[in-house]
Amino acid sequence: MLIFDEDRASGSPFVERVWRSHSEAAGWFVSIAESRAEIVVARHGSQVTVVVRGPETRATRVPYPPDTEWLGIRFAPGVTVVPEPARMLVDQKVILPPAPGGSFLLDGLAWQVPGFGNADTFVQRLVRSDVLVSDPAIPEALHGDPSSSSLRTLQRRFLRATGITQSMSRQIEQARYAVLLLQAGAPITRVAQQAGYFDHPHLTRSLRRFTGHSPAQLLGEAQANQLSFLYKTEPFAQR
């Protein structure tokens, strides 16, 4: 079983959420679509693996080993891990090479593996070394704030910073929000309306793509299938 232990907000504008989990036995979970990049640390016995993950545009079924701990640092919209172009990380992950003393290499530098308590300090160091960069136009656009850039310029900036389109990012967050409503017990018709879908079929198509389940499955049999980390959030503003 995979157990999500806790999550917290961050004081860093570069970080959306910090979370950690562990497994008691081997199994599978459904990794639902994700619009943001993330660094994940896995500890299995004496082995430590650090990966950079980009946005995920579809749901995938992922195996996990027993007796393993995970730490996740989920970045804010528009934050880019510079060593890898954002487009190269879409639906992909990069395993970072180990370095002496239990550290790992990122952008040619050795970094100490972060923990749940010092994740913000770790991110600050990445920012000071220009390993993490952020385009402020991205969160402004996603939350409906006016931008000085033209629509075409903003679309190019969005692709460069995230690897996916602004439309895709909104669709993913809309689906994640719908899952939260369903998990809270809201009826499907209300979920479709509250999450901003045209109708029940529109909701169903979206959730099948981004979560691998229909709304009815998420309310029923899929409760036995674990989904990737979710927390209370709102969908991005619609344009």
* pLDDT tens string 173-227: 999 999 999 988 899 999 999 999 999 999 999 999 999 999 998 887 545 567 8
Over the chain, what is the mean pLDDT? Answer: 90
pLDDT at 235 (0 to 100): 74
Q: What mean pLDDT do residues 7-21 have? A: 95
Is residue 86 a contact partner of residue 77, using CB atoms and an 8 Å limit? no
Output 216 or 144, whichever has higher pLDDT: 216
Asked if residues 112 and 77 have their Cβ atoms less than 8 Å apart, the reply is no
The residue assigned the tokens 């509250």 is 194
Q: 15-60 pLDDT, tens per residue? A: 999 999 999 999 999 999 999 999 999 999 999 999 999 999 999 9
Distance set, CA 39 to CA 13, 19, 70, 113, 207 (Å): 16, 11, 10, 11, 25
The pLDDT score that the predictor gives to residue 149 is 67
